[in-house]
Structure 1
Amino acid sequence: MPVTVNLDAVLDPDFQNSPITDLVNAPTSALSGIDEAQAEGLRLAFGIETIGDLADNTFVRAAVAIRALADVAQ
């Protein structure tokens, strides 16, 4: 059974019709709310160039884990 998800709310309009397998390699500016200057900041500060890089970043992963554990602790 195929699974579908609408990511339009979190993607820049230019990327809304992209296959999810392509989005992993899309620039972080493909995410709605991240402009080119912010994307450059992510690149300079953390070496993050793609959505996949962002998802794999140690600090991002740690922050997500901390949030999830805090939610469970409440």
Structure 2
Amino acid sequence: MAAIDLAKVVDKAWVDKEVAEVLAAPVSALKGVSDRDGELLQEAFGVKTVADLAELKYVRWAQALAALDAVTK
């Protein structure tokens, strides 16, 4: 079973929320992501929610490249 400590990845207002609620939240719910960052992500890629960011093909491509690099070392 996978688990995550939400306190490490989301702002205080989102710590007690269910994962589904966090996924539906604006990307600014993530620690270190400002409202302006969220606006820029929406303008550039149409990303509005945490789920949108997770599904963004560029994010997936970058994760795949990083995973490939990790196993080839």
Give the TM-score of the pair, scaled to structure 1: 0.91
Structure 2 residue aligned with 1:67: 66
1:45 deviates by 0.5
Structure 2 residue aligned with 1:16: 15
Structure 2 residue aligned with 1:26: 25
Aligned-residue Cα RMSD (Å) equals 1.4
- Structure 1 gaps of 5+ residues are none
- Structure 2 gaps of 5+ residues are none
State the number of aligned residues: 73
Equivalent AA in structure 2 for residue 44 of structure 1: E
Alignment identity in percent? Answer: 34
Structure 1 residue aligned with 2:49: 50
Give the TM-score of the pair, scaled to structure 2: 0.92
* Segments of 4+ moved more than 2 angstroms: 2-5
1:4 deviates by 4.8
